[in-house]
Structure 1
């Protein structure tokens, strides 16, 4: 690995290597990107298209200097499920649009004033517990899927058959994540879905008829404002999704720091954090105009960059083009739709737990001291309000609930309680970001 030649960010590989390397990125993001729409009721084909379009837009916004792939964001799973219950896919698109606007406004503010205000608003003591709420709040959904809960009948149907498939799927995913090496270590979700699917076939849980009848080429079920529906503004949906956009901004900063280390370039300074956040915003706005979930940069694809040492934005762009093409292949969409809920439940048991653990890891990495009462209070309140499902009925049409309410209260507690510096922890990776951005502005 150490003797492998690097391919630079603006370098174009030979066409045959280009195709192979781009397909590798496609496989790395595929399982996770289709998982979000499957879990939330959106179209996986549309998610692939919005992922491809969003990535291409991101590469343009960042001036072809940030080799990042964008896919469906896990952080929005819970609010999308809630938004789907309120306003269907059309309602979700309103929330996704507003999330994109929040990204854009934040990017402009960071360009003008630096990033310290964002870190003070969303320190690890707020973001960590909120991420834990995102994962733990979905635990019941994972078990219902794994054990085949019929919401109409109000009971589990053949729970042991389905749960056995879910556990085998979970085992395959864990083996892939722990024991596989190199690139294969980066796609445990894909291995889990494929392995669990094969087991489900032998258990008689898969119906291949829709796959056989599906056309090869098919236009995805796009959800386009003023074409397929007339937008109906919902403040409840906005309050569900916009606070999560604030939380994912902290994750974005972390991804940019990691990516900078991988490519050995300070991407926070050039092209700038404001450009990468704006790229996320534009990608999410595009998703809102076609019917896809909010987009975010993918850690799996950063892992591919680290292993292959191929940093070319043209390779990443090639993966985006392949995602676009896959979105229009009807048999692929039908095959995805035929995956039993037990398989997705097995994946979700691990995935939702990892999301929750990621929040815990943020607290550990930043050395948050829970011997300090303010930290203990903030995290405790966020966890109970978020997981407990508390809500405030502002009016007949506006409700602030669950995770969104927990985020808002966490932000307010952090601003009100004395000792704000303790919320950053003793090892905050964000400490020098503002200085870096100011140096970049001075150089410009």
Structure 2
């Protein structure tokens, strides 16, 4: 049987095929993208619009050469919650804006000096444990949503049962679904859990009935709906997280490069992709959405379908913007019970932590080496333990941000650092691994 032909990066599919492929990408990103605003108290409709506009900006900045979709970043969940507790959603948007600026500054430096210094600053031994902190630090949030009735903030067997049902369905979908459906277990888990929660009487459909079909999202626009308050405390909470997501960005670009057989780090260049990511986050901050990042779910769709067309990615972005303005859809999302989101979050946050561990394994980081053991141990305990530095009466550096900064410092000062590979060497290694995997599959 002949394998279907790859759809090239600049290739425009036939209209009917284009629509179906774009909807596929929309479904792949949908569950995770709406989960972040639901967990942080932001608007899911705004998150959809900002992810779509951010993706379109990313495609334009990268000259349509990288087939990547951008959605809500999980790394910023705890910082957003902390920022909202200090300055409300408006304060979180200010922090998000400055995080996006960090991307822009780093992109300019990379254009002038190359990318090697960034890989040296953020090696796997630093980024891996910080990613683990992000996932494990959210564990209490997931369990609280799963076990407690949000109305009374007390334990509820019904809510916990719904959460466990949702978790079980999501796990089964992750394990047994194949093809495209294997890429959307989160969405399947949420929809099935929602139906079960409705059967248990936990869903109020009144907001859906009252909502209009066409309805503008509740945007937060600076100097239009609010006056920004530039709080240094919020900036210190959110900006250091950009250092972590920058490293994740590099990893995503390497994976995409491996899948497509093109070195995107070299062409169109990491400076363009990072700048595009930063612009997407700035756009989101101007609208009231969470920071954006390249999505592993959509990279999985590209790898599975071998459809690399950026026209398809752009189509998904346009559809996401359109969904944000459908009032019935936005209202339906807001009726999802916290127990359902808690059940899904137990798996998702655990996967985030496991991905940090996977980064260490994939990069052959030897934890038996004292230097690596010390760096990872200190990052984990400081980040999960909630350590903080009180800078002034109103400004403190805490949690993930402090763990990331201390990890970077330890990596720079402790002796015995391993040589950092260049992007070309990493791409060549990944290409060789890909060829070996293909040969192994063929032999099998």
TM, length-normalised to structure 2: 0.94
Q: Deviations over 1:188-228 (max 9, x none)?
A: 10000001001001111001111111111111010111111
Q: 2:327 aligned with 1:334, yes or no? A: no
* Counterpart contact for 1:45–1:333, Cα < 8 Å: yes
Q: Distance in 2 between matches of 1:73 and 1:100?
A: 12
User: Structure 1 residues 380 and 406 mapped into 2: Cα distance closer, same or farther (>3 Å)?
Assistant: same
Deviation of 1:268 (Å): 1.3
**Secondary structure in 1 matching 2:223:** coil
The aligned runs of 1:45-84 (5 Å cut-off) are 45-84=45-84
Q: 2:236 aligned with 1:243, yes or no? A: no
**Secondary structure in 2 matching 1:42:** coil
* Counterpart contact for 1:10–1:312, Cα < 8 Å: yes
Provide the residue aligned with 1:123 in structure 2.
123
Q: Distance in 2 between matches of 1:433 and 1:60?
A: 26
**Secondary structure in 1 matching 2:236:** helix
Q: Distance in 2 between matches of 1:118 and 1:18?
A: 37
* Counterpart contact for 2:149–2:159, Cα < 8 Å: no
The aligned runs of 1:124-203 (5 Å cut-off) are 124-148=124-148, 150=150, 155-157=153-155, 159-203=156-200
Deviation of 1:318 (Å): 0.6
**Secondary structure in 2 matching 1:420:** coil
Provide the residue aligned with 2:425 in structure 1.
432
The aligned runs of 1:184-263 (5 Å cut-off) are 184-263=181-260
Provide the residue aligned with 1:102 in structure 2.
102
Deviation of 1:429 (Å): 8.2
Q: Distance in 2 between matches of 1:419 and 1:230?
A: 49
Provide the residue aligned with 2:350 in structure 1.
353
User: Structure 1 residues 84 and 115 mapped into 2: Cα distance closer, same or farther (>3 Å)?
Assistant: same
Q: Distance in 2 between matches of 1:46 and 1:156?
A: 31
**Secondary structure in 2 matching 1:392:** strand
**Secondary structure in 2 matching 1:111:** helix
Q: Distance in 2 between matches of 1:430 and 1:58?
A: 21
User: Structure 1 residues 2 and 253 mapped into 2: Cα distance closer, same or farther (>3 Å)?
Assistant: farther
Q: 2:406 aligned with 1:409, yes or no? A: yes
* Counterpart contact for 1:165–1:343, Cα < 8 Å: yes
Q: Distance in 1 between matches of 2:373 and 2:301?
A: 37
Q: Distance in 1 between matches of 2:15 and 2:174?
A: 31
Q: Distance in 2 between matches of 1:434 and 1:408?
A: 28
Q: Distance in 1 between matches of 2:305 and 2:366?
A: 38
**Secondary structure in 1 matching 2:85:** helix
Provide the residue aligned with 2:438 in structure 1.
none
What is the aligned counterpart of 2:276 among 279, 286, 289?
279
* Counterpart contact for 1:182–1:307, Cα < 8 Å: yes
Q: Distance in 2 between matches of 1:273 and 1:323?
A: 26
**Count of equivalent residues:** 429
Q: Distance in 1 between matches of 2:387 and 2:312?
A: 45
* Counterpart contact for 1:115–1:434, Cα < 8 Å: no
Structure 2 unmatched runs, 5+ = 430-444
The aligned runs of 1:369-408 (5 Å cut-off) are 369-408=366-405
Q: 2:352 aligned with 1:322, yes or no? A: no
Q: Distance in 1 between matches of 2:257 and 2:120?
A: 23
**Secondary structure in 2 matching 1:144:** helix
Q: Deviations over 1:376-429 (max 9, x none)?
A: 11111111111111111101221111111111111111111111228x6xxx68
User: Structure 1 residues 2 and 354 mapped into 2: Cα distance closer, same or farther (>3 Å)?
Assistant: farther
Q: Distance in 2 between matches of 1:12 and 1:381?
A: 50
* Counterpart contact for 1:49–1:323, Cα < 8 Å: yes
Q: Distance in 2 between matches of 1:127 and 1:261?
A: 21
Q: Deviations over 1:309-335 (max 9, x none)?
A: 211111110100000000011111110
**Secondary structure in 2 matching 1:206:** coil
Ranges of 4+ aligned residues in structure 1 off by more than 4 Å: 428-431, 433-436
* Counterpart contact for 2:284–2:292, Cα < 8 Å: yes
Q: Deviations over 1:231-253 (max 9, x none)?
A: 10111111111111111111111
Deviation of 1:430 (Å): 5.0
* Counterpart contact for 2:221–2:286, Cα < 8 Å: yes
Q: Deviations over 1:327-353 (max 9, x none)?
A: 011111110000000000000000000
Deviation of 1:432 (Å): 2.9
User: Structure 1 residues 92 and 279 mapped into 2: Cα distance closer, same or farther (>3 Å)?
Assistant: same
